[in-house]
With several copies, the nearest count.
Chain A
Amino acid sequence: MSTKSPISPTVRVQSEDFDPGLEGQRLTAGRKDVGALVSFTGLCRDESGRLSALELEHYPGMAEAELTRIAEEACRRWPLTGLTVIHRFGKITPGNNIVLVIAASSHRRASFEAADFLMDYLKTRAPFWKKEHLASGQDDGWVKAKNADDEAMKRWT
């Protein structure tokens, strides 16, 4: 992760919601070289009524820094024309947005792979932690990290 990133990705860590459509427009407005835009939105689910909310804790400063490192690595690996990563923190209720990744490129394959890569790396390396608030009012607990996420990341090495 040493050479300079060919483009500057947009990285934001915020409690406010984001607008996936608007963020996509920002990567294409006034351009004629973008052929493919892949957008991933991660949302809070209620898991069939089990959850009333997720509480996202993060490491301020490092969250932005690590997301930027991952995003710049994606910009080195694929010929992207634009890349946006937004991750929310705080209490998020079911049906609401948690994370957004948008990769723009001249070609479809690069956009798909970059967005997929970003999500795999983000899950295992970005300093965010989810705590569950249960609809039953019973004890809340921290979400456990999945081995499957670690395995998914290895696809890219």
Chain B
Amino acid sequence: MNIRYFAWVREKVGIEEETLDLPDSVKTVADLIALLKTIDDRHAAAFEEEEAIRVALDQMHVEHDEVLGTATEAAFFPPMTGG
């Protein structure tokens, strides 16, 4: 799965995107976040305030309990501040 980061999440993780092979046990966005936090200290720091982070699957907003299903791209970012 392709993982993308934006704004301060991107800065904390230190990369813009990465590709991960997900184990079958990772079924929801929350499972994916738990996995990402184990990658290294930077990932762990980026997701420290987990509930503050917004998620999109295949470029659609979803909640943390959403099932990943057939999505090929997940994106993590702070609350939006455009406009």
| Residues on A facing B (Cβ under 8 Å) | 42, 56-59, 61-62, 65-66, 87, 98-99, 108, 119, 122-131, 142-145
Contact = CB atoms under 8 A, between A and B. Distances in A.
Nearest to B52: A145
A62 B77 CA distance: 12
Interface of B: 4, 6-8, 56, 59-61, 75, 77-83
A62 B57 CA distance: 10
Contacts of B78: 129, 142, 145
A127 B4 CA distance: 13
B59 A62 contact: yes
B83 A143 contact: no
A142 B78 CA distance: 10
A144 B81 CA distance: 7
Nearest to A65: B59
Contact of B59 (A61, A98, A99): A61
Contacts of B83: 42, 87, 98-99, 108, 119, 122-123, 126, 128
